Structure 1
């Protein structure tokens, strides 16, 4: 049996990925599919941590653009990520995948506080750890959270799951039929071209800590397993060889 290419990964899920075709709220079919795919790779011995966004419920930037205090709007966004984390935890535990939610904002009744060593211990015991509430600080995205947590737990790769594209393109494929998909990119190319895979803070953090990013489509069942097995899917972003 083939061995997975990666032993410890961060799976980054946007809130929109959990919303499905509706674009808002939580789509039960989508979240169950993601849970099944995570369960598959846990059975392969892969240690999985998940960072969830909250854009399907609330986006801090949107609230700020409507006149709300930016910090308050961002804290609301962090709470939205906790809702998504609990929904994913429920789906995972329904298929007997042991899961822990850790939050950057303390809320003991529903989740553990984020403690790096405890998170690593959970992973070593084959528990899926879901990181919620971002970094606990306004003005930082969940992309930055994924990069930060990946560095902290020494993840080998960030699996950037997308629901609208199957990789990184030189233009928006929904608007430009001639858009070309990249098989691989360097961090500097992403930053210089402004390709927007992650925000620049997150991309720079990955570059500084040599954490590759694999961008792929979450909408294709089985893609998470393909990604950890090292199959050629999506677009890989890494340091220049």
Structure 2
């Protein structure tokens, strides 16, 4: 750490966001119970953020925290607060008040634009794919920010590969693969042998037990109408 005992650095983490369609913590509790029942080990102590943009102003953040923690999730914070009162109440409950990029863009006041002569469109910038060679082992996490991830090797059990774009795995996928992490619904996952613990594209996910007949085969995975769709590559 360059000789410093404490150093602050920015980094990226993948967090699940739970969207509340209404102020109904009983329904939230039931939904969290369903998720835990599907994959107890995967969701045990999993960090989550709750989006409350669709609920009314009167919201019990202390009860929200109790409901989430009762199902062994870790409530990192909330997002979607629309009033100063909501933000104050959330902080009083010990929760972080988080703001997504889209919220920040909305909150910025628009500036008057000056008339300028039209300029030719700039050439689109191309972000090179992140290429990783070799086995991704248990406990390792690889993240390709704003680009595709190419793994020339296999992804082992307990390993996690994440990309804001597509994921290409030239080997077996036994761990977790999360494509479209920033919300890109056109992202895909390609692998030569599908044995994944979990696959996810833009927040739509499927667990190992649900893969069924598509396991142990080369697959192209995408989402259509908010559903995981498989395409055999062989």
Which band: TM-score by shorter chain?
0.3 to 0.5
Report the structure, 1 or 2, having the larger strand content.
2
Report the structure, 1 or 2, having the larger helix content.
1
Q: Which structure's CA Rg is the greater one? A: 2
- TM-score w.r.t. the length of structure 1 is 0.33
